[in-house]
Amino acid sequence: MTLKIALAQIDITFATPDDNFARVAKYVEQAAAKQVDVVVFPEMWNTGYALDQLEQIADLNGERTQEFLQQLAVKYHVNIVGGSVAIKRDGHFYNTSYVVNAQGALVSAYDKVHLFGLMNEEKYITAGASEVSFELANVASTGVICYDIRFPEWLRTLSRHGSKVLYVSADWPAVRIPQWEILVRARAIENQSFVVAVNRVGDDPDNHFNGHSLVIDPLGNIVSQAGEQEELVVATIDLDSIEQVRGQIPVFADRRPELYR
């Protein structure tokens, strides 16, 4: 079985949700025109890291984003991994990822679990505390947000029930891009899973972002990679290769969780 995936490596207009909703709509349309199964977006695409303006611009209960993604999914009949957006819920701000299937059903809502101090996230955002797994395009999948990929124990926790594709949505600054590639490849190898990792491009007041979005196979090989500009990268992955990799080196069966703390 194959899956055709579009990585929407977009810029994000700082603190300007209307611009960003328009940009995401344009990229979903472009992805659908290429007849992909899934389109994936980066982190915090509605606002960027405009954390001190969240009171004015965060999406209340994520309602605008959910409705928007659901309408696009139905209109273009495409599955959408909606990156993440800044939302306000019960008086708290969250960095939340919504995944919508091609029928318009919300199949996942995940609040970022690990908050990134170097970008002041924990001063404004409340951390999530829930696991995430979903079926998308008939494939068992999971997804995390940016800094989460530095926590292999978390990704193993999410992957241990047979997930085959791990989606990563990021706002990962250019200055640490060499680490990004190594981390993404390592997460693919250790979880014997495809990793689809989408980063943003452009600038905000504090950081420069230079993309390098990646699709990695379960052996850690690069299937496809984006450059440093805004672009839509399309990759096809062969999910049948996962069983072969997992059969040869059964790392999930060989785990010794009783020794791990």
Ligand X SMILES: NC(=O)CCC(=O)C(=O)O
What are the residues binding ligand X (CB under 6 A)?
Answer: 43, 116, 119, 146-147, 150, 171-173, 176
Catalytic residue, chosen from 26, 43, 123, 231, is: 43
Instruction: Give yes or no: 164 in active site.
Output: no
- Closest approach, Cβ 74 to ligand X, in A, equals 30
Nearer to ligand X, 123 or 176 (CB): 176
Q: Note whether 194 and 164 are within 8 A (CB).
A: yes
Nearer to ligand X, 32 or 145 (CB): 145
Closest by alpha carbon to 96, among 68, 137, 59? 59
Instruction: Give yes or no: 181 in active site.
Output: no
- Closest approach, Cβ 143 to ligand X, in A, equals 14
Nearer to ligand X, 65 or 101 (CB): 65
Closest by alpha carbon to 190, among 165, 213, 215, 218? 218
Instruction: Give yes or no: 43 in active site.
Output: yes
H helices of 12-146, in order, are 17-33, 54-57, 63-76, 121-124
DSSP 128: P
Catalytic residue, chosen from 146, 190, 228, 243, is: 146
- Closest approach, Cβ 179 to ligand X, in A, equals 6
- Closest approach, Cβ 9 to ligand X, in A, equals 15
Nearer to ligand X, 134 or 209 (CB): 209
Q: Note whether 210 and 180 are within 8 A (CB).
A: no
Q: Is the C-alpha dihedral spanning 167, 172, 175, 179 positive or negative?
A: negative
Chain-centre distance for alpha carbon 1: 22
Closest by alpha carbon to 95, among 106, 105, 83? 83
Nearer to ligand X, 84 or 191 (CB): 84
Residue 243 CB partners (closer than 8 Å, separation 6+): none
- Closest approach, Cβ 198 to ligand X, in A, equals 12
CA distances from 125 to 58, 96, 109, 200 (A): 11, 10, 16, 20
Catalytic residue, chosen from 26, 29, 55, 112, is: 112
User: Could you list the active site residues?
Assistant: 43, 112, 146
